Amino acid sequence: MRRKENEIQDPSRIQSLIDRARVLRLGLTGMEGPYIVPMNFAYEDGVFYLHSAPEGKKIDMLRADPRVCLEIDEPGVYEDADDPCEAGFSYASVIAFGKAELIVNWSEKSRALSLITRKYSGREHVFSETECRGVAVIKAECSEITGKESR
């Protein structure tokens, strides 16, 4: 990280940003180049769980190369100044790197979908094997998670 003074050192602050985030951007690499897609997600114990359709470009890319980059941010505020060189933008973001895989075990998939449901609705739901068949869940285990902010 170039600007170390903006690094979030407190792991609980990074966790708080992840907990509040509504959208995660998944970055993948393929033969055609990089690809970024916004996704619904849940996070637990260093692992991101992403809800997906069972087929499509991101699934094909993930199968070809499991390396991923994940990004989460909070809306910032532009801080104007008479001198444009003095203007700025407040921000807070989290970047994570890791490897991802598709969850094939239906009970693990059910648990991940339950985490995602709880994040967005606040309600509990246990997904049946039948309900799990129609969706994919991507499990991204991260080797590096960093946060950065400017207020």
User: What CATH number is given to the structural domain containing 62?
Assistant: 2.30.110.10
Task: Label residue 150 by pLDDT band (50, 70, 90).
Answer: confident
Asked if pLDDT for residue 117 goes beyond 70, the answer is: yes
The confidence score (pLDDT) of residue 85 equals 85
What lies within 8 Å, CB to CB, of 31 at 6+ separation is: 64
What are 42-64's pLDDT values in tens digits? 999 999 999 999 999 999 999 99
The confidence score (pLDDT) of residue 75 equals 80
Of 14, 74, 76, whose CA–CA distance to 48 is shortest? 14
Asked if pLDDT for residue 31 goes beyond 80, the answer is: yes
What are 12-21's pLDDT values in tens digits? 999 999 999 9
The sheet with strand 47-52 has its strands ordered as 33-39, 24-30, 67-79, 88-102, 136-150, 47-52, 41-44
What are 89-110's pLDDT values in tens digits? 788 999 999 999 999 999 999 9
Give the residue numbers spanning the domain of 139.
Answer: 4-150
The confidence score (pLDDT) of residue 2 equals 63
Number of domains in the chain: 1
Token readout for 18 is: 């992840």
In this prediction the pTM is: 0.89
